[in-house]
A = this chain, B = another copy of it.
């Protein structure tokens, strides 16, 4: 008898096949039409459920649930400077913890197993993820203090604290952007990332102005600038990359870096155009999907955002066939980037991370399941989320969510009063 075994029986896979799944000690041990759960395993009834890999949210600032919708009608730079940064000065560690816990409840209910985060007081985010049972790659944000000569050093201490959590928490070096971190600091953080073999998580080319300013100051476009400083490699996650030109996309592909596109936040903050996904695809860029922070989205529902992404790319290309549903689904589940997740669907030997999607929901009841995941469902169709073999949400609910909602709402009210 295994202490931590779990099995799903009688579920359906995306091809319509009846399948079961067995997980032991956090790993999938069996997956297919016939499985034999070990004695004592917790059994999940998969009847009427689709079993698939979970969603991966490739870029967010989870604790910003506290500022949801703040400065709704402002473009990016005014939104940051007028609505967000002034409020962030007052954040306590507890605020960040409960804000991130609320984000974890929302993401868990919406089928997200894993997210990439960048924020202030990031150890509190790590603690929230640990307590919530999710996975995350957390990056204490690096920003040069105004007028300073290098980044505040607090982030490095935070990085070490983040690294002390359990195996579901990974860390990344997270310089905010080229317009908030100078060349010297960028080189320094790149060096630290190399030494420690850590990923780099950075915002890149979100607005045209960022590109213009970079060209004016450094004589090259942002991707080349970062590459010259040693920041573009196979463990680099570039959030947004809206204004990359063909040469930059080819450079990103050559280096094996990943772009995480945030179609909802990009439109909301009016950054000027969609991520050039077709060109990125032609260049061979690895792509993931992100919600961005919930203050500029204003939700944490990658299934909803996946539809927006696909619609936007269809409209931008004037080509209804530009994004096949299978490919869209791979992108949303992190399977189109080695940095975000394994390329295969569920199989023995892989981490026991999966969702059960309720096929009796009206939007899932007719049509093809993968098409429905891309174009019809939102996170509310997710019945169960399992991460590392543990049930995180069930029946669309997270145990103890009431306290989390109350504590985060209280913090948000105080901060925005």
Contacts and interface: CB of A to CB of B under 8 A. Distances in A.
A43 interface: no
Contact of A298 (B102, B270, B320, B371): B371
Nearest to A272: B318
A327 to B, nearest CB: 11
B300 A363 contact: yes
Contact of A375 (B74, B266, B299, B408): B299
Contacts of A161: none
A10 B371 CA distance: 41
Contacts of A324: 73
A134 to B, nearest CB: 14
Interface stretch (A26-34, A244-252, A276-284, A308-316): A308-316
A296 to B, nearest CB: 9
A70 B270 contact: no
A66 interface: yes
Interface stretch (A53-61, A135-143, A224-232, A376-384): A376-384
B268 A301 contact: no
A184 interface: no
B270 A318 contact: yes
Contact of A74 (B73, B109, B320, B378): B320
Nearest to A104: B362
Interface residues of A, number: 66
Contacts of A368: 69
Contacts of A294: 376
B375 A72 contact: yes
A401 B360 CA distance: 9
A106 to B, nearest CB: 4
A69 B367 contact: yes
Interface of A: 65-70, 72-75, 79, 102-103, 105-106, 109, 264, 266-270, 272, 274, 294, 297-301, 304, 307-308, 311-312, 314-315, 317-321, 324-325, 360, 362-363, 365-368, 371-372, 375-380, 401-402, 404-405, 408-409, 412
11 contacts: A73-B325, A268-B311, A268-B320, A270-B319, A274-B315, A297-B375, A297-B376, A298-B367, A301-B378, A308-B311, A365-B409
Given A307-B308, A365-B409, 17 more contacts: A68-B371, A69-B367, A69-B372, A74-B321, A266-B315, A267-B312, A270-B314, A270-B315, A270-B317, A270-B320, A299-B377, A301-B378, A308-B308, A308-B311, A362-B404, A366-B408, A366-B412
